[in-house]
Structure 1
C-alpha cells in the first residue's frame, strides 16, 4: 500500500466536504430551503440511474454518475454562478479550470488525471454521456421550480424565453425528457408561474 496515496485521497475527501456549504439559488422540492451543491449532485446521480433508459443513445451510466457527482466540485473555489445571472456569465471556464487543477490535484496523479478528464468531458458536452449528464443538470432545477410555484423564476423575474433557452440542453441528451420538460414549461406559463416577454 502506498501511504502517500492514501493520505492524498483523504485530503481530497476532506476538501470536497466544502461542496456541502455551497448554496444554490434553487430550493428543495416544495420547500423554502436552498439546495446545496452536494444535495444537487447526489440528486443528479440518482436521476441518471433512474432515467438512463430515456437517453437517446447508449450510455455508460457509471460514467454519467461520475460526471454529475464531480461536475460542481470546482465551485469550492470558483463559486456557483446562477444560470440566469445577468451580471456574470455562466461560462467561467478559466476560474473553473484553475479550481479543477487544484482540487483534483490533491489526489494521486492517476486519479487526478481521470477526474479532470471526466470533468472536461462534462464541460465539453459532446459525448452521449456528457449530453445526458447535462440534461440531468438542467432537468432537476426545472422540476424544483415547478414544484415551488415558479421558484427562482419568480424570485428573479426570469422569463420563459430565457428558461427555454437554458433548458433546451435537455434535448441533446433525451428527446423524451425534453418533450416532458417542454410540457412543464408550457404548464408553468398557463399557471402564471413563468411569464413570457
Structure 2
C-alpha cells in the first residue's frame, strides 16, 4: 500500500524560479488556491487545490485528473468549481479563493451569460459558494500560485485523483514551508 506521503503520489516541484510570496488570508479565513493544467496530446486536464489558514498552516489539498479535451478557460473554470466543492466538503465557511486565471476570476466576479461550458462552470461556482458566510475570488500571478500549479501538474503526470487531509504531500511540503516562513 502506498501512503499519501509517498513520492509516487507527486511530481517533484523543484525550486521555483522566483521565490513565491504567497500571502495568507485575513485572520479567521481560509485561502484556497486552485489551478488547472492541460495535456492536449492526451486530451486530459489536471486540477490542483490547496487550503491554508491565516498562519499559513496546511489544511488540505486535492488533485483531480480528468479525460477532457477542452480549452484553458473551461479547464480553469472547472478547477474553480472543484475548489468550491472542496471547500464545502472540508466545512470551510469563510474562504478567499485565489487562482491565476484572470479571465475566470473576472467571469466569476462579473458573470457573463452562461452559454459556454466555461460559463456553465462559472454559474455552478457561484451557486456552490452561496452557502459560505464569506467568499472572495481574487487573481494571483502564477508565481504566487505555485503550490496549486504543482498539484495540477502532478494530477496530469500521475493520472491522480487524491485528497490529503492531514499530511502535506511531499511534492509541495517544501513550498508550503518556504511560504509559511516568509509570512510568520
TM-score by length of structure 2 reads 0.29
TM-score by length of structure 1 reads 0.27
Higher share of residues assigned strand: 2
In our comparison, the structure showing a higher alpha carbon Rg is 1
Higher relative CO (CA 8 A, sep ≥ 6), structure 1 or 2?
2
